[in-house]
Amino acid sequence: MILLDRVTKLYGKDTKPALNRVSLHIEPKEFVILVGTSGAGKSTLLKILTREERPTSGKIVVGGIDYDSLKKKNIPLLRRKIGVVFQDFKLLPQRTVFENIAFALEIVGMSNREIRHTVPKVIDLVGLKGKEDKFPNELSGGERQRVAIARAVVRQPKILIADEPTGNLDPKHSWDIVRLLEKINRYGTTVLLTTHNKDIVDKLKRRVITIDHGKIIADVAQGSYKQG
Ligand code: ADP
Q: What tens digit of pLDDT does each residue of 167-185 get? A: 999 999 999 999 999 999 9
Ligand 1 centroid to Cα of residue 41, in Å, is: 6
Atom of ligand 1 nearest to the CA of 43: 2
Give the closest residue to 31 by CA, choosing from 218, 210, 215, 222: 222
Confidence of residue 227 (pLDDT cuts 50, 70, 90): very low
Q: What is the pLDDT of residue 228?
A: 38
Atom of ligand 1 nearest to the CA of 9: 12
Name residues contacting ligand 1 (CB within 6 A).
11, 18, 36, 38-44
Stretch 70-77: mean pLDDT, rounded?
Answer: 90
pLDDT digits (tens, 9 = 90+) for 6-28: 999 999 887 899 999 999 999 99
**Model confidence, pTM:** 0.94
Confidence of residue 224 (pLDDT cuts 50, 70, 90): very low
Atom of ligand 1 nearest to the CA of 36: 3
Q: Could you tell me the domains of the chain?
A: 2-90+157-220 (3.40.50.300)
